[in-house]
Chain A
């Protein structure tokens, strides 16, 4: 059970203040539910209602009725408040109609106006769960979706497409971009549609995102290929140098990263084929081949100076 202090007022309602010290911030004493002035010790408000979660625990699984006195935790940031009344299961004969069904069915339409939005949040959580995204990205996605939904400029688009695009944007904004193909893998929407919605959302929310770089994907791709840290660092170095020396103009950073991983892994003891890397990165192996051909001539300059070559540079495969 979590209890927390509210050291400052969050809403505009007239809050209780100490009559002697109107500027003093009241401290909440949770044990007795009191608000105490720290300056003079006066108990200003008492019997304050606790908004924490249910603190009673029940080990009686056999009981059919749910003795919990509180509902779900409020989600005020997202839905428009969750204040709704639920009708409990009836006891006694009067609550059943002639067929044995209970009258006054429960939960008819709670928060009907945001039914689609709650559905989308559920979908976002499912998608994020498939690729193990942390909660902060999911929260950011939910916020983005809410903003887009309220704006109504993309109302005609499928909510799933908007949700997938919001997920993509949230990952970018948090500095851990996922490729469109990775988002496609966890969503039912096509890459084309996600790309379209992505551009529309950026326009609607008037934000922009940073350009992707090769380094953003190195740790993820290399871990999925089970490559050791030295190879990952070498690949990062190779990709960065290749872009700096402008050996790969116009190539997508993902393809350059994949080619760099291929070169680094081929020079080390942990060799990976182009097909394996292509599978992980979502890049065709001919694309890796093309980018590799562009960086191969300058291979000795691209490796970091302290790299231990298992296969020397001149014996790297030439495709």
Chain B
């Protein structure tokens, strides 16, 4: 990667003797943009590197070389896995058309490959068959759970909100307060905002598939009311995930070392707001160890962001 030669000047004195490095933990290698797993700038930019962090970086660098060898083996395995899973997808009755590039997001119904140990519990399992076991910073073993998905879709025709509100069940419409119909369905439990232009926002789903399914159901409702509804440009706009690192965190230390990315104002909000650059995710980190990740467009971003932040949080674990 081209990152290898470009160390910011002030970090050069702190880099390990082997030279520039990207302390990456390639976890989700199928998705090339994210699979390289560049650790966010924070670790390189810390002005007060603790010995622990420097050790971590050196170990990660060694681990990276090992991981590259493993990655080649994995790619062969993944090719086999992709073929296996695509056949199982055709068997599963999907209510919505498949979006091929998001195939990693669907629930895995196949058994894992023999020889690969699924580290994460199914049904919500990321695509990688195996996580490269790096010596010092082994994967956290914690998977962020998705809590909310916001998606938009264009129904492709102008709508009369008044008739929709009058004839549909579970619809509310208060034009003085908000210019859209708010409709809710029970399965999947979601809420939709339907605008007169024909555009719709669907919120509250817990997975990408559920969001798409729910949006299709809303489109069906609108269609049954007599409008020529289509299903154009379904796009997931935001994904929110949360998890627990199971140890208390020293937020004051974190804001001191990662000043450029963190904002911690106890008067305004009890959590630390960490804006990660790559991937572009906002994390809310609390003293109890709970972490909320938001701003992702794909599931892998949430996972990658959490894997990036986990070693940093471990460094700020409260010792008492």
Measuring CB to CB, which residues of chain A are less than 8 angstroms from any residue of chain B? 179-180, 195, 198-199, 202, 208, 211-212, 245-246, 249-254
Asked whether A250 and B288 contact (CB < 8 A) given A208-B259, A211-B252, the answer is yes
Q: Are the CB atoms of A212 and B318 closer together than 8 Å?
A: no
Q: Are the CB atoms of A180 and B255 closer together than 8 Å?
A: no
Alpha-carbon distance between A251 and B271 when the two chains are bound, in angstroms: 10
Residue B41 CB within 8 A of the other chain = no
Residue B111 CB within 8 A of the other chain = no
- Closest B residue, CB atoms, query A244: B320
Q: Are the CB atoms of A195 and B265 closer together than 8 Å?
A: yes
18 contacts between A and B (CB under 8 A): A179-B267, A195-B268, A198-B265, A199-B265, A202-B263, A208-B259, A211-B252, A245-B320, A246-B318, A249-B288, A249-B318, A250-B270, A250-B286, A250-B287, A251-B266, A252-B266, A252-B267, A254-B267
Contact with A along B154-193 (1 / 0, CB 8 A): 0000000000000000000000000000000000000000
For A253, what are the chain B residues with a Cβ–Cβ distance below 8 Å? Answer: 266
For B252, what are the chain A residues with a Cβ–Cβ distance below 8 Å? Answer: 211
Alpha-carbon distance between A129 and B255 when the two chains are bound, in angstroms: 33
Residue B248 CB within 8 A of the other chain = yes
Alpha-carbon distance between A252 and B255 when the two chains are bound, in angstroms: 15
Contact with A along B280-296 (1 / 0, CB 8 A): 00000011100000000
For B259, what are the chain A residues with a Cβ–Cβ distance below 8 Å? Answer: 208
Alpha-carbon distance between A254 and B267 when the two chains are bound, in angstroms: 8
Partner of B255, one of A195, A211, A251: A211
Q: How far is the CB of A180 from chain B (nearest CB, A)?
A: 5
Query: Which residues of B300-320 have CB atoms within 8 Å of chain A's CB atoms?
Result: 318, 320
For B28, what are the chain A residues with a Cβ–Cβ distance below 8 Å? Answer: none
For B195, what are the chain A residues with a Cβ–Cβ distance below 8 Å? Answer: none
For B286, what are the chain A residues with a Cβ–Cβ distance below 8 Å? Answer: 250
- Closest B residue, CB atoms, query A250: B287
Alpha-carbon distance between A253 and B252 when the two chains are bound, in angstroms: 12
Alpha-carbon distance between A98 and B144 when the two chains are bound, in angstroms: 82
Asked whether A249 and B287 contact (CB < 8 A) given A208-B259, A211-B255, the answer is yes
Asked whether A212 and B320 contact (CB < 8 A) given A249-B287, A250-B286, A250-B288, the answer is no
Alpha-carbon distance between A212 and B265 when the two chains are bound, in angstroms: 8
Q: Are the CB atoms of B268 and A180 closer together than 8 Å?
A: yes
Measuring CB to CB, which residues of chain B are less than 8 angstroms from any residue of chain A? 248, 252, 255-256, 259, 263-268, 270, 286-288, 318, 320
Alpha-carbon distance between A202 and B275 when the two chains are bound, in angstroms: 14
Q: Are the CB atoms of A246 and B320 closer together than 8 Å?
A: yes
Alpha-carbon distance between A249 and B318 when the two chains are bound, in angstroms: 10
Q: How far is the CB of A287 from chain B (nearest CB, A)?
A: 12
Q: Are the CB atoms of B264 and A211 closer together than 8 Å?
A: yes
Alpha-carbon distance between A249 and B320 when the two chains are bound, in angstroms: 12
Alpha-carbon distance between A249 and B256 when the two chains are bound, in angstroms: 17
Q: Are the CB atoms of A180 and B267 closer together than 8 Å?
A: yes
For A245, what are the chain B residues with a Cβ–Cβ distance below 8 Å? Answer: 320
Q: How far is the CB of B9 from chain A (nearest CB, A)?
A: 18
Q: How far is the CB of B19 from chain A (nearest CB, A)?
A: 29
Q: How far is the CB of A161 from chain B (nearest CB, A)?
A: 15
Task: Rank and list the top 7 A-B pairs by shortest CB-CB distance, nearest first.
Answer: A250-B287, A252-B266, A195-B268, A249-B287, A208-B259, A180-B267, A250-B270
For B287, what are the chain A residues with a Cβ–Cβ distance below 8 Å? Answer: 249-250
Q: How far is the CB of B276 from chain A (nearest CB, A)?
A: 15
For B266, what are the chain A residues with a Cβ–Cβ distance below 8 Å? Answer: 212, 251-253
Alpha-carbon distance between A250 and B271 when the two chains are bound, in angstroms: 8
Q: Are the CB atoms of B263 and A252 closer together than 8 Å?
A: no
Chain A CB within 10 Å, residue with most, of B259, B266, B286: B266
Alpha-carbon distance between A254 and B248 when the two chains are bound, in angstroms: 21
Q: How far is the CB of B288 from chain A (nearest CB, A)?
A: 7
Alpha-carbon distance between A208 and B256 when the two chains are bound, in angstroms: 10
- Closest A residue, CB atoms, query B248: A249
Q: How far is the CB of B195 from chain A (nearest CB, A)?
A: 25
Alpha-carbon distance between A34 and B2 when the two chains are bound, in angstroms: 65
- Closest B residue, CB atoms, query A181: B267
Q: How far is the CB of A243 from chain B (nearest CB, A)?
A: 9
For B263, what are the chain A residues with a Cβ–Cβ distance below 8 Å? Answer: 199, 202
Alpha-carbon distance between A317 and B113 when the two chains are bound, in angstroms: 64
Asked whether A212 and B255 contact (CB < 8 A) given A246-B318, A249-B287, A250-B286, the answer is no
- Closest A residue, CB atoms, query B286: A250
For A249, what are the chain B residues with a Cβ–Cβ distance below 8 Å? Answer: 248, 287-288, 318
For B288, what are the chain A residues with a Cβ–Cβ distance below 8 Å? Answer: 249-250
For B256, what are the chain A residues with a Cβ–Cβ distance below 8 Å? Answer: 211
Alpha-carbon distance between A251 and B286 when the two chains are bound, in angstroms: 11
Alpha-carbon distance between A180 and B267 when the two chains are bound, in angstroms: 7
For B268, what are the chain A residues with a Cβ–Cβ distance below 8 Å? Answer: 180, 195
Q: How far is the CB of A184 from chain B (nearest CB, A)?
A: 11
